[in-house]
Chains A and B, each alone.
Chain A
Amino acid sequence: MVNRKKSRKFVGRSVTLALLVHAAIIFVVGVSIIFRQEIMHETVDSDVTPVNAHAVDEAEVIAEIERMQLAEERERAERIAQQEQLELALKQQKEAERLAREEQQRLAAMEEQRLEQEEALRQMEEQKRQAQAEIEAAEQQRLEEQQRIAEAEAERLRQAEELRQIEEQKELAQAEFEATEQKRLAELRQAEEAEARRLLEEQELQALEDQKRQAQAEIEAVQQQRDEQQHQSEIEKQKLDEEIEAKRQVALELAKREQLEEAEQQQELERQQELERQRLAAEQEQREFEERAQQARLKKQQEQLAREELLRQQEEELLRKQEEERLQEQLRRERLEQRARSEFSRYIPQIKRKVEDAWIESPNSEGLFAVLEVEINPVGEVQAVTVFSSSGSLAFDRSGTIAVRKASPLPIPKDRELFQYFKRFRFEFSGAPQ
C-alpha cells in the first residue's frame, strides 16, 4: 500500500519532469500542437483512402506538370521532413538505447543487491539458528539450574552471570539482526528509488513519445497543408501509408516495450512481495524468538524474584513466629504460674495433710528441724527424697524421709502443664514439743 502510494508520488513527480521536458521539446520543434492533433485524428481515422482515376487531357498535362512541380516541391519538403524525422528518430533511438543500457545496469545492480540481501538473510538465518541453539542451551542450563536451585547462592550468581552473558550475546545477535534489517530496508529504499528513477525515465520516454507524436503531427500538418493546397496523390497516400506504417511500427515497438516494462514491473513487484513476505516471516520469527527469549528471561527473573520473595517471607515469618512464640510462651508461663499459685493453695494443704498423717513423730524431737527435698513424677509418685538440711538427728531425718515416701503418691494437680511447679519441692519438718 505504502509502495503504491510512493509510486503514485513518483508518477506525479515524473509527470512534472515530463512536462518540463515536453515544454523544452515544444520549444525546440516550434510547431503548432493544435494543428497536428487535428491531422493526426484525420489520419488515424481515415486509415486507408482509395485513390480515384481521372481522365487525361491538356489540362491534365499542365496539371501533371504542375503536379510534378508540386511533387518535386513536396519531395523536397518531404526530404527535409524525412531528414528531420530521421535525425529525431536517431536521437530517439540513441536515447532509448542509453535508457535500455542504464536499465540493464540498474537491473544487474538490483540483482546483485537481491543476492546480497539473500546472503544477508541466510546469515541472519544462521545467526537466528545459533541464537536458537543458544536459547536451547540456556534453557537446558536453566533446567539444570532449577535442580541445583537449593544449592549455594554463589552457584546462582554464577549462573546469573552466564545468563547475562547469553542475553548479551542475544542482544548482540539482535543488534546484528537489526543492522541487517536496516541495511535491507535501505536496500529496499534504494530499490524503490531506482523504481522511481525508472518511472521518471518512463515518463521521459513518454515525453519523447509525445515529442514523436508532435513531430508526427507536424509532418501530418505539413501533409495537411499540402492536401489543402492540392489533391492528394496515391504516392502521397502510399508514402503517407508508409509513414503511418512506420509510425505504427514505432508505436508497436513502444507498446511492446511498455508491455515488457510492465512485465518487468510485475516481476519486480512479485520479487518485492516475496522479499516482503520473507522479511515479514523473518520478522515474525525474530519476534517469536525474542518473545521466547523475553519470556524465558522474564520467567527466570520472576522465578528469581519469587525465590527471593519466598526467602524474605520465610525469614520474616520465622522472626514473626519466634516473637509470637516468645510472647505466647511468656503469656502462657504467666497464666501457668497464676494457675500454679491457685493450685498451690489447693494442693499444699492436701500434701501437708498426707505427709503429716504418714509422719510418726519422735516424742522427744522438740527443737529438731530438717529440710527434705522431694522429687516426684507427673502422677505424684515420690522418686527421690534427699536431706537438704539435716536436723542433726539421723532418726528424725529418717522419720521425715519415710513419711514422705509413705505419703506417695502425693496429691498434685492432674494438669500436666503444672507439673513443672510441683516436680520438686521441700518439706520442713519441725519437731513438736511434747
Chain B
Amino acid sequence: MRKIISILAVIAAGALTSVNLAFAVFTIEIDEGVVRGIPIAIVPFGGDAADQFLRSADRIISDDLTRTGRFDPIGEDQHLSKPTSAEEIRFVDWQLIKADYVLIGRVESVEDRVGNFRIITRLYDSFEQKQVFGVQFIATADQMRVIAHRIANAVFENITGQKSSFESRIVYTTTIPNGASGAAEHVLYVADYDGFGPQVVLRSEYPILSPSWSPDSTQIAYSELRSSGARIYIQTVATGERFEIDTPQGHNSAPSWSPDGQRLAFANLTGGNSDVYIYSLKDNKITRVTNHRLIDTEPSWSPDGKHIVFTSNRGKDPQIYQALARRDAATKRVTLDGRSNTAAQYSPSGDRMVVITDQGRGSQVGIFDFKSRGIQVISSTTLDDSAKFSPHGDMLIHVVEGKDRYIKILSPDGRVQTRIPVADGLVKQVDWEKSPQ
C-alpha cells in the first residue's frame, strides 16, 4: 500500500512537472491593423416624436462619423432589424452584417413641457454584446442638430477615445459678385462645421481676407482690403463689434492668434517686401520677427506659443520656415519636399503641420510630419487653399478654388473627403474654431 502511495506520489509529481514543462501561453503580435472606418450601424430613431424631432438625426450622426474617416456606417438598407430600445436589440443581427457597434435611440414628447422632447440613445458593442453608453437629453426642436452632433461626439469619444470636432464652428469668407447694392459683396460667415446654420458676421464692400478664430472662440480677426491698404480687425462674434489694430504702413494681413490669445502674428507688406510681425493685444506693441528682403508671410503659432512658422520664398521656391516668436529671430527652413509649401498651420498636438503643397500636380493639402519631415498629400483636388485643422485634429478643412469654389472636409488620412454647403457666394478662405463652446 505504501508502495502504491509512493508511486502515486511520483506520478503526481510527474504530472506537475509535465504541467511545468508545458508551453507557456503563446502570444501573437498584432501590429498592423487595417486603415478603414469602424463599421457602425446607426438605426433610425424611434419613438412617438421621432418624426417631429431629429428626423434626420441618424443622417447627421452618420455624416459626422464618416467625415473623420474613422467610421464606416452601414447603410440602413442592410440592417436586419430596427430596434429603438434595449429590449429590441438582437446582437446576432449586427454581428451578421459585421457591425462592430449599433446606435439606437428614441425621441419622446415631454408631457408637461410643450415643445420639449426626451431623447434616449444607446450605443452597443455587438460583438462583446454590451452597452457602451446610454445618454438622455431634453431638448427643443431647434436644438436638433446640436443634439445630433452631441450624440455623434459621444459615439466618437467612446469608441476612439478622442474628442471630436462635431460641435465646433467654422468661419469662412465669400464674395457675392452681384450683391444687394449691385456691386460685389464680401461676407464673413460663421456656421456649424458641416456648413449648416450659417450666420453672417460681416458684410463688407471690401474683400475680407484670412479670417482667424481667437483661441477662446469669441472673436475673429481678419483683414479688410481697403484702397489704403489691408487693415486688420478683431470682431466679437456674439456682438458684431470690431476694432482695428494698430499696424504698420502698407498691407497688413494673415492675422494669427497666439495660443494664449494675447498676441497676433501678421504679415506686413511694404514696398514689395513682406515680413512677419507680432502685435500685442495687451500693450499694442509691435514686434518685427523676420527681416528679410524676400517675402515672409502667413505666420502660424506653435501650440506652445514659442515658435512661429511662415511661408517664405527666400530659398527661391516658397517653403515653410520657422522662427522663435521674438524680435529678429533666427529662422530655419522646415519643409524640404515639393516645388512649394505654403500656408502652414500647426496641428492641435503640434507634431504636424498642414500645408498647401505643390508636389507637381498642383496645390494640394499636405500633412508635414515634424518627426519624419515628410509631406503626405491627403487631398485629391489640385486647387486647394486655406487648409486648417479641426480643433481636435480629427478632420481638416480647406477651400477648393476654381470656377466652382467650395469647402471640403478631409479626414486626416485623406480617405474621406466631403464637400460642405456654403451659404452664398464664392468661398475664399476658411478657418476652424479652436476651442468649441
Contact = CB atoms under 8 A, between A and B. Distances in A.
Contact of A359 (B7, B25, B34, B125): B34
B127 interface: yes
Interface string B1-33: 001100110010010001001110111111111
A176 B28 CA distance: 92
Interface stretch (A83-91, A93-101, A425-433): A425-433
Contacts of B314: none
B125 A326 contact: no
Q: Which of B22, B25, B30, B35 has the most CB of A within 10 A?
A: B30
A430 B29 contact: yes
Contacts, number: 119
A371 B30 CA distance: 10
Interface string B21-54: 1110111111111111110000000000000000
Interface string A303-332: 000000000000100110011001001100
A323 B160 CA distance: 57
A148 B359 CA distance: 102
Interface in A262-318: 315, 318
Contacts of A355: 28, 30
Nearest to B132: A398
Contact of A326 (B14, B33, B159): B14
A172 B38 CA distance: 103
Q: Which of B21, B32, B70 has the most CB of A within 10 A?
A: B32
B272 interface: no
B27 A428 contact: yes
A197 B55 CA distance: 151
A356 B100 CA distance: 15
Contacts of B160: 362, 395
A424 B25 contact: yes
A402 B101 CA distance: 10
Given A333-B18, A340-B23, A424-B25, A395 B162 contact: yes
B150 interface: no
B66 to A, nearest CB: 14
A329 B38 CA distance: 48
Contacts of B28: 348, 351-352, 355, 425-428
Nearest to B98: A406
A360 B34 contact: yes
Given A396-B161, A406-B100, A344 B26 contact: yes
A419 interface: no
Contacts of B69: 363
Nearest to B26: A425
Contacts of A424: 25
Given A348-B28, A352-B30, A405 B128 contact: yes
A432 B33 contact: yes
Q: Per DSSP, are chain A's interface residues mostly helix, strand or loop, or mixed?
A: helix
Contact of B30 (A315, A385, A402, A403): A403
A393 B158 CA distance: 10
A424 B23 CA distance: 11
A363 B413 contact: yes
A141 interface: no
A421 B18 contact: no
A346 to B, nearest CB: 13
Contacts of B11: 322, 326
A51 to B, nearest CB: 120
A44 interface: no
Given A360-B37, A432-B31, A426 B26 contact: yes
Contact of B100 (A340, A393, A402, A425): A402
Contact of A421 (B23, B33, B36, B37): B23
A104 B211 CA distance: 172
Nearest to A336: B22
Contacts of B162: 364, 395
B30 A398 contact: no
B34 A425 contact: no
B207 interface: no
A34 B22 CA distance: 127
Given A398-B159, A406-B98, A425 B27 contact: yes
A425 B128 contact: no
A421 B159 CA distance: 33
Given A333-B18, A402-B127, A406-B127, A363 B32 contact: no
Given A395-B159, A426-B27, A427-B27, A360 B36 contact: yes
Query: When A and B form their complex, which 8 residue pairs have the shortest distance between CB atoms, in order from nearest?
Result: A361-B33, A395-B161, A359-B33, A405-B127, A430-B31, A426-B27, A393-B161, A425-B26
Interface of B: 3-4, 7-8, 11, 14, 18, 21-23, 25-38, 69-70, 98, 100, 125, 127-128, 158-162, 369, 412-413
22 contacts: A319-B3, A319-B4, A319-B7, A326-B11, A326-B14, A329-B18, A333-B21, A355-B30, A356-B32, A360-B34, A361-B32, A362-B160, A363-B70, A363-B413, A373-B25, A398-B128, A402-B100, A402-B125, A425-B28, A428-B27, A429-B31, A432-B32
